[in-house]
Structure 1
Amino acid sequence: MNMKKPATILSFTLLVVMTGYGMVMPIMPFYIEKLGAGGRELGWLMASYSLMQLICAPAWGMLSDRIGRKPVLTIGVLGYAITLFLFGLADQLWMLFLARSLSGILSSATMPTAMAYIGDHAPKEERSQSMGQLSAAMGIGVVAGPLLGGLLSSDSLALPFFIGAGMAFLAFLLVIFILPESQAPQAPSGRKPRVNRLELRQVFTSPAAILLLPIFIMSFGLTSFQGITGLYVVDRFQFNTQQVGIVWMVMGGVLVLVQGLLTGPLCRRFGELPLIRVGLFGGALGFLFFALAGQFLTILLALGFFSLSLALVGPALNGYISRFAGERQGTVMGMNSAATSLGRIVGPLWAGYLYDLNLVYPFFSGAVSLLLGLLVCLVGIRRQPSNEKNQAVVI
């Protein structure tokens, strides 16, 4: 199958999902204030999205193994459009929680299924590049979402969600009418694989299982950095809004450029496993450089180095773990998404706790966590002496 058209449609779908996720960030505090709630409610409201993704992503992945990728992706995108519309209509706190939770449940069907689709059809030598394209689209959404939400909400807090719902519905139409059908791989007996506890046991006893730990650690490190950086530069350096905006633009721009343009060629040249190791080590150094930076220029340089390093890790990990999924692409990518979501929940909470103790503690902690991930990759995974790149064994 020519992957150009499917990869474009899948990238647009994940772009829409992450744009909707990002649009909530600048608007949510105003919603909370409007409804008379406080910081605790805001924290739980933000956590509910990732928590639902953590719970539901593995189930969606297993279901896509059973009934095919396209039906699950269709359900996820259409449901996401409906939840964004409901969010725009919400005028009570319980309605916000309901819409946000449903959004997490249904949007969690998109990422693992899209990655499983790539794992099914992309040649091994092109898999990391295709994963990088998906990651770049998600990165654009993360950057564009808050900007779009801030611009569109000046007259109406609800308008960004109605716009996002329209974009999601467009993605739904592309998926249902243009995306080629993707059948789940057949089990050896010719029957569709069944969703049961044995599937999860097989995943956790396969070589893919140990890769879930560095996936969690990478997500933990990146989101702990993102969650605290804006507050850090304001408290320590008294950055103004324009300078904070430049910080986010540098981070998002580097992530998008590296994942969209460099990851594929670098993986083909050096292999995925070496790139993962180099990226984790570079990310640990980036944490330290950022904590030690004392001027605007050095902060941007440290930020760029950190973003470049972790931009290499994500697509390489996604492409690498898909090599061990076999006929369980959906199940493995669902667990991959769950590990990522868990990192998104724990990372910002842990960084916030450490930040209250000392401003630089989150960055030192992040460096240690990425070095732990590097240790897992060095000790737990070794390349086999074979002709094919990036074959690995767990020891």
Structure 2
Amino acid sequence: MTEKIKSKFSFQADWQRNLVVLWFGCFMTGVGSSLITPFISLYVSSLGHFSKTELNLWSGAIFAASFVVLAIVSPLWGKLADEKGRKLMLLRASLGMAITITLMAYVTAAWQLLLLRMLLGAFSGFISNSMALMASSSPKEKSGRVMSVLTTGSVAGTLIGPLIGGVLVAWVGYRHVFNVTGVIMFLVFLLALFFVKENFTPVKKDQVAQGFKQVFSLFSHPAVIWGMFLTTMITQMTNQSINPVLSLYVRELMHYQGNITLMAGIIAAAPGLVTLVVAPQLGRLGDRIGQKKILGAGLFFSMVVFAATAFSQSVTFLLIMRFLVGVSDAAILPSVQAILAKEAPRQVTGRIFSYNQSAQAIGAFAGPLLGSVIAGFIDYRYVFVASSILVIINLFNYFTHTGGLKSRALWS
């Protein structure tokens, strides 16, 4: 059976087959990391008797744990990927996630779930290593399209994950959701094992760049790479900042009437839906006209959209603005990935994408915290004002870190 399936991919180049398999892997990784979101507090409450304050603290800690650990360990896995190969890291990540998520079905206390969420962050890295593998194996002139396609996989998974989680909870209960996800992640492991091909030549340990200084000495323009990391972190902060209080803001705009939960879910999903559709087109356009133009346009558009969102007077206007956020994400996120793919020397590709994943995890952790504080002490709409200010900082970062590269074909 395996040979029959393999034959279906025989007409494709290795990198094209890899792209198909890794898209599905990124999609399922996004699902696995986000399906707990709708019911994390409810699941925690079933593990003991907690006061309201205790429940909120446990839920927040459990939700954030994987991001904090991911930000710390990702560079370590990236270094190992450059030494041993990216496919090995794909297998490590997918199998580790399969085991860890499955074990979440059998916890009996909140501290056990917290520990497993930390392990989930420690085993993560499938998406960053997929990016690194495709960056090192696909044609450079197609980097924009390739990175856009992979981005749609992770975005779609993260978008659909909460929906799948909610449906499965209603159907089979909390615990079996983790069993189902674990099985799917094991399927991702098998697909990566049998169908992903990497032409990797091991590098002797003493020849591998050690530490940040040596890694960045390999770049002719290291400021560009640092600029992309900052762009990723700020973009994640602005995207995630409203999430903790989105349903409360929607309730206020709807004047406490109507199906608030449904509308909040639609608005939460809106950016991802648009990114899923638009990102491949903008990726192809970036390959033709230059990623710098797409990235700059996306940042400017993002600033305008967040500023306009602060003036929302109706849920319809908020929904439209969130759709437009998806357009800016479709321009920003794949452009960053494509730029890193084109700039990174092959011997440090794994670390560069792992560093970027660390930046993403920091933004995913800091954004909701910032949004909650602003909404709690000022007002919901000022979350969008703060997001707009962050994008202005991102634009300043864009001009200061890429301005000297106008003559290069990549940035034309």
**Range of TM-score over shorter length:** over 0.9
Q: Deviations over 1:268-318 (max 9, x none)?
A: 233111111111111111112222122233222211112211221001011
The equivalent of 1:256 in structure 2 is 276
The equivalent of 2:246 in structure 1 is 229
CA contact (8 A) 1:117 1:182 kept: no
| Aligned partner of 2:140 among 124, 144, 161 | 124
Q: In structure 2, how many angstroms separate the alpha carbons of the residues matched to 1:315 and 1:26?
A: 27
- Alpha-carbon deviation of 1:227? 3.8
* Aligned CA distance change for structure 1 residues 264 and 197 (closer, same or farther; 3 Å): closer
Q: In structure 1, how many angstroms separate the alpha carbons of the residues matched to 2:75 and 2:287?
A: 29
The equivalent of 1:115 in structure 2 is 131
| Aligned partner of 1:245 among 227, 247, 265 | 265
- Alpha-carbon deviation of 1:387? 6.0
CA contact (8 A) 1:70 1:182 kept: no
| Aligned partner of 1:384 among 379, 402, 405 | 405
Q: In structure 1, how many angstroms separate the alpha carbons of the residues matched to 2:250 and 2:226?
A: 37
Q: In structure 2, how many angstroms separate the alpha carbons of the residues matched to 1:156 and 1:382?
A: 53
Q: In structure 1, how many angstroms separate the alpha carbons of the residues matched to 2:149 and 2:108?
A: 37
Q: Does 1:305 align with 2:345?
A: no
Q: In structure 2, how many angstroms separate the alpha carbons of the residues matched to 1:160 and 1:54?
A: 26
Q: In structure 1, how many angstroms separate the alpha carbons of the residues matched to 2:336 and 2:44?
A: 37
Q: In structure 2, how many angstroms separate the alpha carbons of the residues matched to 1:199 and 1:182?
A: 24
> SS in structure 1 opposite 2:241?
helix
CA contact (8 A) 1:81 1:165 kept: yes
Give ranges in structure 1 of 5+ residues lacking alignment: none
Identity of aligned residues (%): 24
Q: Does 1:170 align with 2:187?
A: yes
Q: Does 1:152 align with 2:171?
A: no
The equivalent of 1:332 in structure 2 is 352
The equivalent of 1:362 in structure 2 is 383
For 1:360, the aligned partner's letter is R
Q: Deviations over 1:33-88 (max 9, x none)?
A: 11234101111111101001101111111110000111111011000000011111
Q: Deviations over 1:89-144 (max 9, x none)?
A: 1111121011111111101x212211110110122221121111111111111121
> SS in structure 2 opposite 1:180?
coil
| Aligned partner of 1:3 among 15, 19, 24 | 15
- Normalised by the length of structure 2, the TM-score is 0.88
Q: Does 1:135 align with 2:151?
A: yes
The equivalent of 1:84 in structure 2 is 101
Q: In structure 2, how many angstroms separate the alpha carbons of the residues matched to 1:77 and 1:134?
A: 16
| Aligned partner of 1:206 among 195, 199, 222 | 222
Question: What's the C-alpha RMSD, in Å, of the aligned pairs?
Answer: 2.1
Residue-pair matches, total: 387
Q: In structure 2, how many angstroms separate the alpha carbons of the residues matched to 1:360 and 1:385?
A: 37
Q: Deviations over 1:5-53 (max 9, x none)?
A: 1011111111111101111101211111112341011111111010011
The equivalent of 1:281 in structure 2 is 300
Q: Does 1:373 align with 2:389?
A: no
| Aligned partner of 1:219 among 236, 250, 255 | 236
For 2:27, the aligned partner's letter is L
Q: In structure 1, how many angstroms separate the alpha carbons of the residues matched to 2:155 and 2:276?
A: 6
* Aligned CA distance change for structure 1 residues 270 and 201 (closer, same or farther; 3 Å): closer
> SS in structure 2 opposite 1:328?
helix
CA contact (8 A) 1:63 1:195 kept: no
Q: In structure 1, how many angstroms separate the alpha carbons of the residues matched to 2:404 and 2:212?
A: 30
| Aligned partner of 1:20 among 23, 26, 32 | 32
CA contact (8 A) 1:225 1:366 kept: no
Q: Does 1:314 align with 2:330?
A: no
* Aligned CA distance change for structure 1 residues 331 and 387 (closer, same or farther; 3 Å): closer
Q: In structure 1, how many angstroms separate the alpha carbons of the residues matched to 2:369 and 2:218?
A: 28
For 1:236, the aligned partner's letter is L
Please, which moves more after superposition, 207-216 or 378-387?
Answer: 378-387
Q: In structure 1, how many angstroms separate the alpha carbons of the residues matched to 2:268 and 2:381?
A: 19
For 1:132, the aligned partner's letter is S
Q: In structure 2, how many angstroms separate the alpha carbons of the residues matched to 1:157 and 1:325?
A: 42
Give ranges in structure 2 of 5+ residues lacking alignment: 1-12
> SS in structure 1 opposite 2:403?
strand
Q: In structure 2, how many angstroms separate the alpha carbons of the residues matched to 1:264 and 1:214?
A: 17
